[in-house]
Structure 1
Amino acid sequence: MSAERYPLNWLRGSTPSSFAKGYGVDVFTYNRDMIHSLSGELTQKMGKFLFVGIGGVEFKVMVPATSESKLPKLGDKIVVYTFLHIREGGADLYGFLTEKELSFFELLISVSGIGPKSAVSILSVAPVDQLMAAVSRGEAEILQKSSGVGKKTSERIVLELKDKITADGDEVSVKVMESDNDVYDALINLGYSRRDARNVLDKIDTALTDTGDRLRDALKKIKN
């Protein structure tokens, strides 16, 4: 039997603990945002959403596009770190495969004018390590690849977050980021879709740093 689609209306008039107890499961880790993570079965993938089944309930979670190539097979277990955004008329659940992505997402939405959807869009541009490295070095251009983020907005993000981020492997990350920007543009010019071009970047051999070598490796793997 497929899991029930649950629209998060349980937030009204009930507590998460009573909800979980009612379904006979202990699945929530709490922080100030109420639901820190979901651990369950990956039941569906639908565009920018994935569905996590837990105890007969199916949670709809919006994830960055960069998560797509890292998802397990349908039916396998998945852990998603989440941010619950309560808005007028409903609630949205945003999910990330690592706590680092969640932390960077929370930094992004702390910037004036950046909402959850814009933050997810930014995280869809490149791996989180590359984004953090770019921001820490004051490189705003990569953020402008995100839909709806222009020059002024990207510069504001860098200005507000630059001193709050410590990027591990800074020099290497930035070099790879710059190379991948060129690889991505080259693949688009060759006629590949944005989705395929973005997904193959995660499959490139991490030992390769030269742009030409990374492009050749991408061309081999984008067809597989």
Structure 2
Amino acid sequence: MISYLNGEIISKGKSFIVLKVNDVGYKVFLQGKDLEKIKEKEKIEIFTFFSLTRERLELFGFLNKQGLEFFEILNEISGIGPKTALTLSSFESLEKLKQAIEKQDENFHQQIKGIGQKRMQKIILEITGKIKEIGKTTSSKQEPAIEALISLGFSAQKANHALSQIPKEIIETEKKIKEALKIL
């Protein structure tokens, strides 16, 4: 339904923002690490997941498409709702969670609040194999720019975030890097 929003942050809560888009405020739940990166009055674009239950309508937002795709895979697991999927997808880094799941590290569940050992085993079983799909969505035109930013000392996540904010009209790698450096 609502898969993308672009607007100004008018307020921030403990786990959400209110994003003003065309004079309408949308409450969007974000990962803790994404909340730390953004400020009130900042203009941002986010990829969203629309959740409809009997009790409520909720939007879950991500600063990049990779985060959204990972969240959607987690959310498809039976017994895992959007809030738990958001918790799992926000754990330090996607790479760390992917590695723990791929290695089938059952002790990893102890580091994530609200998820017991049996639940984590179920997640590991259902998600192994699906995880490898994540990250393949980065376009080949952006890869050299990401690699250049990483070689300059930026994390892959920060590089992806910066590159996602530059105008789509910029297609030359050198110009992408210059614009991304302005953001970083």
Residue 54 (str. 1) matches residue 21 (str. 2) = yes
Root-mean-square deviation over aligned CA pairs: 2.0
Matched, 1:80 2:46: yes
* Partner Cα distance (2:8, 2:99) in 1: 33
TM-score by structure 1 length?
0.56
Q: 2:50–2:59: 8 Å Cα contact kept in structure 1? A: yes
For residues 165-223 of structure 1, the C-alpha deviation after alignment (integer angstroms, 9 at most, x for no partner) is 1276xxxxxxxxxxxxxxxxxxxxxxxxxxxxxxxxxxx986xxxxxxxxxxxxxxxxx
| Whole-angstrom CA distance in 1 between matches of 2:61 and 2:36 | 15
CA contact (8 A) 2:16 2:35 kept: no
- How many Å apart are 1:156 and its aligned residue? 1.0
In 2, the alpha carbon distance for the partners of 1:52 and 1:134 equals 33
Please name the residue that 1:142 is paired with. Answer: 108
| Matches for 1:18-37 after TM superposition, within 5 Å | 34-37=1-4
Which secondary structure does the structure 2 equivalent of 1:53 belong to?
A: strand
Q: Which residue of the partner structure matches residue 63 of structure 2?
A: 97
Equivalent in 131, 135, 148 of residue 165 of structure 1: 131
Supply the distance in 1 between the matched residues of 2:49 and 2:23 (Cα, whole angstroms): 21
Judge conservation of contact 1:125–1:143 (CA < 8 Å) in 2: no
- In the superposition, the TM-score normalised over structure 2's length comes to 0.68
Q: Between Structure 1 and Structure 2, how many residues are aligned?
A: 137
Q: Sequence identity of aligned pairs in percent?
A: 32
* Partner residue in 2 for 1:40: 7
Structure 1 residues 114 and 144, CA, compared in 2 at 3 Å: closer, same or farther?
farther
Secondary structure at the aligned position of 1:89 is classed as coil
Q: 5+ residue gaps in structure 2?
A: 136-152, 156-184
In the alignment, is the contact (CA less than 8 A) between 2:50 and 2:60 conserved in 1?
yes
Distance verdict in 2 for CA 1:140–1:39, change over 3 Å: farther
Is the Cα contact below 8 Å between 1:135 and 1:158 reproduced in 2? yes
